[in-house]
Amino acid sequence: MSQKILLNSKEVNIILHRLACQLIENHNDFSNTALIGLQPRGKYLAQRLAKILKDDYNINNLNYGDLDITFFRDDFRRGDKPLEANKTNIDFIVEDKNVVFVDDVLYTGRSIRAALTAIQSFGRPKHIELLTLIDRRFSRHLPIQPDYRGRQVDAINKEKVIVNWKENEGEDTVYLINK
Ligand SMILES: O=P(O)(O)OC[C@H]1O[C@H](OP(=O)(O)OP(=O)(O)O)[C@H](O)[C@@H]1O
Ligand SMILES: O=c1cc[nH]c(=O)[nH]1
């Protein structure tokens, strides 16, 4: 297996601040916005963005949630081993909110398709956007594109993008590995 670094921690930090600013441009004071991290890996990115918005831009009243999509996946019954679900934590009204889904990698788009179904249990958002740190180009199975992207990456099918976060893996780094 070979691996190469696509983004180091300094580059991740710059991108996170840029994404936070792009969110502010479109969502102003976030009063009618909800930032929703997709479990499990999108949560780290969403929490980091929420922290930047709070600490650097005084956005204190952000509606923040985590959404688990396990039971809404189209491959839910296909795997050999049982899937492990994570927690959904949405303690605000989603009805009529401007929702921003946050995930670390966008590849086929199937996770986001599942998230679009999962969120319906919480109401009818006014509008849903997608923010992703890594957008793997030319690999979509569905007509789903990000509204905010950190970095676009070209990778072939046998390669995988791995996003590590300092809260979980000790450092912010994005790798491309050749399986
Ligand atoms: O666009 P897609 O093809 O759906 O791929 C994107 C998803 O892939 C990764 O999760 P993965 O399914 O590898 O597993 P994990 O969520 O358990 O980390 C990543 O965190 C995204 O959620
Ligand atoms: O490269 C990829 C593809 C899907 N999910 C990931 O986390 N990385």
Q: Which ligand is nearest to the CA of 107?
A: 1
pLDDT of residue 84: 86
ipTM: 0.95
Residue 45 has a pLDDT of 98
Query: Ligand 1 test: best mutation among 105, 152, 157, 177, most atoms within 8 Å of CB?
Result: 105
pLDDT value of residue 75: 86
Q: Is the shortest distance between the CB of 41 and ligand 1 below 6 Å? A: yes
CB of 155 closer than 6 angstroms to any ligand 1 atom: no
Q: Considering the domain 9-25+32-72+88-155 in this protein, what is its CATH number?
A: 3.40.50.2020
Q: Each residue of 90-136: pLDDT tens digit?
A: 999 999 999 999 999 999 999 999 999 999 999 999 999 999 999 99
Ligand 1 pocket test, candidate residues 107, 130, 137, 168, most atoms within 8 A of CB: 107
Q: Which DSSP string do the residues of the chain spell out, in sequence order? A: -EEEEEE-HHHHHHHHHHHHHHHHHHHTT-TTEEEEEETTTHHHHHHHHHHHHHHHH-----EEEEE--GGG-TTTTT-SSPPPP---B--S--TT-EEEEEEEEESSSHHHHHHHHHGGGG---SEEEEEEEEEETT--SSS---SEEEEEE---TTEEEEEE-HHHHSS-EEEEEE-
Parts of the chain with a pLDDT under 70: 80
What is the average pLDDT value for the chain, to the nearest integer?
A: 96
Pocket lining: 160 vs ligand 2, CB cutoff 6 Å: yes
Q: What is the pLDDT of residue 81?
A: 72
Q: What is the pLDDT of residue 1?
A: 82
Task: Kindly report the protein residue whose alpha carbon is nearest to atom 4 of ligand 2.
Answer: 107
Domain residue extents for the chain: 9-25+32-72+88-155
The answer to whether the predicted template modeling score (pTM) of the entire model surpasses 0.90 is: yes
